[in-house]
Amino acid sequence: MGASLRDRVAIVGAGCTPHRQWWDKSGDDLLVEACWEAFEDAGIGPKDIQAAWLGGGITGQTLAHALQLDFIPVTKVDNWCATGGDVIRNAAMAVAGGFYDIVLATGFSKSDSLALRGNIWQGGSSGTWLHGQNVTFAGPAGGTFATFVPRYMHHYGVSYEDAKRGLGAIAVKNYANGALNPKAFLRKAVTMEEYLNAPMLTWPLSLHDTCSMPDGAAALILTTPEIARKLRPDYVLLKGLGMTVGTKQGQLDTGYDWVHFPEAVLAGRQAYEMAGIKTPLKELDLACVHDAFTVVELVIYEDLGWAPRGQGYKYVQEGVFDRVEGELAVNPNGGLKSFGHGGGGSGIHKAYEVYKQLQGKAGERQVKNASLGLSHDQGGYPGTYTVVIDIWGTRD
């Protein structure tokens, strides 16, 4: 690889809207809210921003108009569900390359169509689930991602009951974490019994196996470590970054095993090498991963070296990835399952969570003594993906 980005880029400000069904807010409104939280966090204003990158919208003008930016370059990035991570990557490389001193990385998702949303929890703590053929994310993508579950069972000799309880442990964990997050969409704990009895959507994935898709926005302000030291004492540094894009080999190669994402494996290796990580399960304190479906999180455990092949479903049931007592807190913000999948902003709201955790400002969901965290963003469909992995730390 080329030059390393390690310790050359810092987050000094971050913002994130609550993720909700914002019928009374536009995408511009959400961007303004997230970006201004980031400006106030960093102690700067929009006139200090020299360039910006946006996930979501039609062009970069969406952001320029919303914030009334002063003729600075604004670039729209689009890379399926990995858009947010790629926004961060592009902004970070511009800073590390010396082209700009202070930049904005932001993204959002806004839809007024119920058919494009995920699981809907209607009516607060005493409400009911709304679900149907076109309501959940399982509609457009679940049928193909569901392929990973029976293939995993066959490949590793795992029973249906054991596999479902492993996936259920992921859902229960993420719901419990999201219930502690005031910005999460689905703030409701779900028991294993409720998970197992949920309506089937795309066998063997049921209602609680797929993510929610509300409206929301997130933003990061990136700069050099030298400038960061002048702005705040608790800035967070980029330690490692990896990105890969598939070439449809999974759809063409009859040897594709459907139990791992090669793009995630390679991106993880790149990020670990840059960050100097040798034993990720021991060295990382938390991770926010792309759990668009519970089986994606399961496979990521193994692809990123946190569990041996065919053992991830056991590890999660044993509490290895629990927020409080686990070895590695995975999705302490609730994940896409509970917090919500924000399309263009998902990778950014994951990095927002890592940033807050490393600062010790995550409230009830705080991971104890967190100093190194990972953000994983993934987009595409089975057989070909884009994966972006960032690793953030608190020490120069």
Q: Which residues are catalytic?
A: 81, 341
Reduced to 3 states (helix: H, G, I; strand: E, B; else coil), residue 328 is coil
Which residues does residue 16 pair with via DSSP β-bridges, in sequence order?
218
Reduced to 3 states (helix: H, G, I; strand: E, B; else coil), residue 128 is strand
Element (H, E) at 381: strand 372-381
Number of C-beta neighbours around residue 329 at 10 A: 26
Residue in 273, 339, 319, 258 with CA at minimum distance from that of residue 20: 339
Phi, psi of 386 (to 5 degrees): -115, 130
Is 396:7 a contact under the CB 8 Å cutoff? Answer: yes
Is 118:340 a contact under the CB 8 Å cutoff? Answer: yes
Is 54:75 a contact under the CB 8 Å cutoff? Answer: yes
Q: Helix 346-359 vs helix 83-96: angle between axes, to the nearest 10 degrees?
A: 60
Phi, psi of 379 (to 5 degrees): -140, 155
Distance from C-alpha of 161 to C-alpha of 163, rounded to nearest angstrom = 5
Tokens representing 317?
């049931």
Element (H, E) at 387: strand 384-393
Chain centre to alpha carbon of residue 338 = 12
Angle at 76 between CA 220 and CA 41, to 5 degrees: 15
Tokens representing 226?
């030298």
